[in-house]
Copies of this chain bind each other. A is one copy, B any other.
Amino acid sequence: MTGKPKIVIVGGGFGGIKLAKLFAKEDVDITLVDRHNFHLFQPLLYQVSTAILSTDEIAYPIRTFFRSNKNVEFFMAKAQGVDQVRNVLLTNHGEVPYDYLILAAGATTNFFGMKTVEEHSYGMKTIQEALHIRNHVLHMFERANKQTDPTLRKKMLTFVVVGGGPTGIEEAGAISELIGIQKKEFHNLDFNDVSITLIEATPNVLPMLPPEMREETVRVLRRKGVNVRLSTQVVDYDGEVLKLKGGEEIPTRTVIWAAGVKAVPFIAECGGEVARDGRIIVEENLLVKGAKNVFAIGDCAFFLHGTERPLPTVAPVATQQAVVCVRNVMKLINGQTDLETFHYKDLGAMATIGRGDAVMAKGSMKMSGFFAWCAWMIVHLMRLAGAHTNFTVAIKWTWNLISGTRLGRIITNIKV
A contacts, CB < 8 Å to B:
35-38, 54-57, 59-61, 63-64, 66-67, 70, 72-73, 75-78, 92-94, 127-128, 131, 138-139, 142-143, 145-146, 184-188, 386, 388-389, 391-392, 395-396, 399, 403, 405, 407-413, 416
Contacts and interface: CB of A to CB of B under 8 A. Distances in A.
B184 A67 contact: yes
Given A55-B410, A407-B388, A410-B38, A416 B92 contact: yes
Given A142-B76, A407-B56, A64 B392 contact: no
Contacts of A388: 395-396, 399, 403, 405, 407
B94 A146 contact: yes
A56 B392 CA distance: 13
A233 B399 CA distance: 49
> Can you list the 9 inter-chain pairs with the closest CB atoms, starting with the nearest?
A63-B185, A54-B54, A38-B410, A76-B142, A59-B410, A54-B56, A56-B408, A61-B409, A35-B416
Nearest to A399: B388
A412 B61 CA distance: 11
Contact of A389 (B59, B143, B185, B407): B407
A30 to B, nearest CB: 11
A412 B63 contact: no
Given A56-B407, A388-B396, A412-B128, A188 B35 contact: no
Contacts of A77: 416
Contact of A187 (B37, B73, B391, B396): B73
Contacts of A143: 76, 93
Nearest to A405: B64
Contact of A37 (B73, B405, B411): B411
A318 to B, nearest CB: 21
Contacts of A59: 410, 412
A61 B410 contact: yes
Contact of A57 (B54, B184, B391): B54
B93 A410 contact: no
25 contacts: A36-B410, A36-B411, A37-B410, A37-B411, A38-B410, A54-B54, A55-B55, A59-B412, A61-B185, A64-B405, A64-B407, A67-B184, A67-B185, A73-B187, A75-B145, A76-B143, A77-B416, A93-B143, A127-B410, A127-B412, A128-B413, A131-B412, A388-B407, A389-B407, A392-B396
